[in-house]
């Protein structure tokens, strides 16, 4: 079973490199060598993690070589250990990354679906990130990278997209907008950087409750 799973992983990665349109259908797979899944019933599974955020699926290979495929609705959270060099490039402060499932409207089909979002900051209004695949050509090759899309989590399944990050964030925290703008300016914080945006949202949370 594990061999079949590895073949699936290799197949997905090949699609990312050579067939962008098909890769988007299968979802943007992310693999981590160290991680754990906490289920809604409190059970824990530890091992190698394969996360497909857009399909709401996580797979775990445990130390006993058992492989579990789990739907997002059964998951409380996924915690993984990221490689340090990727964290540096991503400008995040910790190698621990946490993903949580949300029941949202699919942008393409306009149908409700489960998807995993990375939680960048704590609440009461949490900052989420969803990384979408992006492709660029170089030396006759099609290369894959990712683009950050940010969201605010207002509850278990209430997710607000920040399409124009600064504008939408300030509109949500409209009564505190001037304070937030001043804080970002004084600390040279960018609304397009995940780590710095987390600082901005944390500051916004420290102010009085927003009035959307």
What percentage of residues in the chain have a pLDDT greater than 90? 54
- What is the rounded distance in angstroms from the CA atom of residue 150 to the CA atom of residue 131? 9
Identify the residue with better confidence: 54 or 80: 80
Structural element, H or E, at residue 58: strand 57-61
Q: Which residue has the tokens 């500051």?
A: 203
Answer yes or no: are the C-beta atoms of 133 and 146 closer than 8 Å.
Answer: yes
Identify the residue with better confidence: 197 or 85: 197
What is the rounded average pLDDT of the residues 42-53? 94
Burial classification of residue 27, based on how many CB atoms lie within 10 Å of its CB (0-12 exposed, 13-18 middle, 19 or more buried): middle
Identify the residue with better confidence: 88 or 14: 88
Identify the residue with better confidence: 178 or 155: 178
Domain ranges of the chain: 2-120
Whether pTM > 0.85 for this model: the answer is no
- What is the rounded distance in angstroms from the CA atom of residue 90 to the CA atom of residue 84? 10
pLDDT tens readout for residues 169-192: 999 999 999 999 999 999 999 999
Quick one: tokens of 192? Answer: 């397009």
- What is the rounded distance in angstroms from the CA atom of residue 53 to the CA atom of residue 106? 12
Mean pLDDT of the chain: 81
Enter the CATH code of domain 2-120. 2.30.30
pLDDT band for position 20 (cuts 50, 70, 90): very low
Q: Is 22 helix (H, G, I), strand (E, B) or coil?
A: helix
Answer yes or no: are the C-beta atoms of 68 and 115 closer than 8 Å.
Answer: no
pLDDT tens readout for residues 105-116: 777 777 888 999
């Amino acid at each position: 079973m594990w061999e079949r799973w590895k073949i699936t992983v290799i197949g997905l990665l090949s699609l990312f490199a050579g067939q962008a349109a098909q890769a988007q259908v299968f979802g943007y797979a992310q693999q981590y060598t160290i991680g754990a899944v906490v289920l809604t019933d409190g059970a824990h599974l530890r091992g190698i993690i394969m996360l497909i955020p857009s399909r709401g699926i996580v797979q775990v290979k445990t130390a006993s070589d058992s492989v579990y495929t789990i739907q997002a609705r059964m998951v409380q959270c996924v915690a993984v250990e990221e490689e340090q060099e990727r964290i540096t490039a991503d400008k995040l402060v910790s190698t621990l990354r946490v993903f949580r499932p949300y029941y949202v409207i699919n942008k393409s089909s306009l149908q409700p679906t489960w998807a995993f979002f990375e939680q960048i900051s704590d609440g009461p209004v949490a900052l989420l990130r969803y990384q979408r695949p992006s492709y660029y050509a170089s030396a006759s090759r099609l290369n894959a990278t990712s683009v950050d899309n940010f969201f605010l989590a207002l509850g278990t399944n209430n997710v607000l997209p920040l399409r124009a990050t600064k504008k939408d964030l300030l509109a949500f925290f409209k009564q505190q907008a001037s304070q937030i703008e001043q804080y970002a300016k004084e600390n040279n914080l960018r609304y397009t950087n995940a780590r710095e945006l987390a600082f901005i949202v944390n500051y916004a949370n420290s102010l009085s409750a927003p009035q959307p």
